[in-house]
């Protein structure tokens, strides 16, 4: 996230990274803010002015993310911040938030554990020591999910299956990762009225997300594979 407005107090999306279940990059792109950036927050965001040279328009990235996560389980850390930054809605039965997971909260001994702390406690890795990488954050988040997947999915089984069954009764599965806004107010079933273009007032912990297909939703029962490949070096680093 970069800063807009007076003293860069308002936050705006500047990079989106999505990895699949195995940590392979599915999407990693910079997003061009529609307003003038007053604080790049490079020391923590890792985003520099020159990164905007090949940045994509918000609406294009929003549409691609909506397509990628539609009908899939989305794993994130404080994931609500990510969906708000993208002005997307996603059904709660298909969300897995490592900040809200009961087991992870217990391990961290706090109701709102940070990704940095959880990664060090559970994975023995140190991240976010300098400028953040949304790819690294997404991979760490997915690694935490994989570690607790069995118990987590058992706890979510009834809720997830009830949602999938309800979707199956409808005309089409999907349509859940719905773009909200894009500068205009949009109304839809169960959607909150939102207006904006990727700008929000509270900074997200990470701009990285991870996704996997629910078992009942995938025809072959396999996780969707990304187009990118794992980077050289440590698996969690971008």
Q: For the domain that residue 140 is a member of, what is the CATH number?
A: 3.30.420.10
Residue 101, domain member (yes or no) = yes
Q: Are 66 and 88 in contact (CB under 8 A)?
A: yes
Span 198-222, pLDDT tens digits: 444 322 333 667 777 765 433 333 3
CA distance 82 to 58: 14
Residue 115, domain member (yes or no) = yes
CA distance 116 to 171: 42
Residue 229, domain member (yes or no) = no
Q: Are 197 and 52 in contact (CB under 8 A)?
A: no
Which domain, by its residues, includes 114? 2-212
Residue 236, domain member (yes or no) = no
187 alpha-carbon distance from chain centroid: 23
Mapping DSSP to helix (H, G, I), strand (E, B) and coil, where does residue 155 land?
helix
Span 53-98, pLDDT tens digits: 999 999 999 999 999 999 999 999 999 999 999 999 999 999 999 9
Q: How many domains are contained in the chain?
A: 1
pTM score > 0.85 for this model? no
Q: Which residue has the higher pLDDT, 6 or 172?
A: 6
pLDDT tier, 236 (very low <50, low <70, confident <90, very high otherwise): low
Residue 218, domain member (yes or no) = no
- For the chain, helix, strand, coil in percent to 5 are 35, 20, 45
Residue 135, domain member (yes or no) = yes
DSSP string covering 195-222, please?
--SSEESS--S-SEEEEE--TTT-SSS-
Of the candidate ranges 1-5, 9-13, 161-165, 229-233, the one whose mean pLDDT is the lowest: 229-233
CA distance 81 to 120: 22
Provide the edge-to-edge strand list for the sheet that holds 10-12: 37-39, 2-4, 10-12, 199-200
Residue 232, domain member (yes or no) = no
Q: Are 206 and 138 in contact (CB under 8 A)?
A: yes
CA distance 126 to 65: 28
pLDDT tier, 197 (very low <50, low <70, confident <90, very high otherwise): very low
Residue 137, domain member (yes or no) = yes
């Amino acid at each position: 996230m970069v800063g807009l407005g007076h003293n860069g107090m308002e936050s705006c999306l500047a990079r989106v990274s999505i990895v699949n279940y195995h940590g392979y990059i599915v999407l990693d792109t910079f997003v061009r803010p529609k307003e003038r950036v007053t604080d790049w927050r490079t020391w923590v965001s890792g985003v520099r002015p020159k990164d905007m040279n090949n940045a994509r328009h918000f609406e294009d990235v929003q549409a691609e993310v909506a397509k990628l996560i539609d009908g899939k389980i989305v794993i994130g850390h404080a994931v609500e911040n990510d969906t708000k930054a993208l002005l997307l809605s996603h059904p709660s039965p298909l969300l897995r938030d490592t900040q809200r997971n009961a087991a992870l909260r217990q391990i961290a001994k706090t109701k709102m554990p940070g990704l940095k702390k959880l990664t060090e406690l559970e994975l023995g890795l140190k991240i976010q020591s300098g400028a953040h990488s949304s790819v690294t954050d997404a991979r760490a988040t997915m690694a935490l999910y994989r570690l607790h997947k069995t118990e987590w999915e058992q706890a979510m089984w009834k809720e997830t299956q009830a949602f999938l069954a309800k979707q199956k009764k409808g005309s089409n599965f999907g349509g859940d990762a719905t773009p909200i806004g894009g500068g205009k107010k949009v109304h839809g079933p169960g959607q909150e009225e939102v207006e904006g273009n990727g700008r929000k007032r509270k900074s997200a912990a990470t701009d990285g997300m991870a996704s996997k297909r629910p078992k009942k939703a995938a025809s072959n029962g396999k996780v969707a594979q990304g187009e990118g490949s794992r980077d050289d070096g440590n698996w969690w680093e971008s």
